[in-house]
Structure 1
């Protein structure tokens, strides 16, 4: 999914999403993580690196 599409689905700033994707934002607000996870149809742990492999 492109950042532009994710931006449209979440309403979050594309620059913010890009920084999060590159690991420049280590701790994001829980509501933002849930919003992104919902848009990607994954569990929040999958995008916070808390998911066990």
Structure 2
């Protein structure tokens, strides 16, 4: 998550403000010290303009893959 955010040039404080979350909370989520709810994860992915799977590392079922999207063969 953090690497994607940083690659987009968005600060933790900026993203936290955009999605209405505390920067300390997001920092813990990014560092794997705390979980986040689906709503927060979806807003995070939306602000970074990435699919939710990019930040959750969940595999997309083959029948739901978008054309041209890379398929992960394993979740990590």
TM-score where L is the length of structure 2: 0.60
1:17 and 2:53 are equivalent in the alignment: no
RMSD of aligned C-alpha atoms? 1.5
Structure number with bigger Rg = 2
Cα distance between partner residues in 2 of 1:32 and 1:46: 14
**Mapped partners of 1:20, 1:29: distance in 2:** 10
Structure 1 unmatched runs, 5+: none
Q: How many residues align?
A: 52
Q: Moved runs in structure 1, 4+ residues, more than 2 A?
A: none
- Partner of 1:41 in structure 2? 49
Q: Show structure 2 runs of 5+ residues with no match.
A: 1-9, 60-71
TM-score (norm. length: structure 1) = 0.81
Relative CO higher for 1 or 2, CA cutoff 8 Å, sep ≥ 6?
1
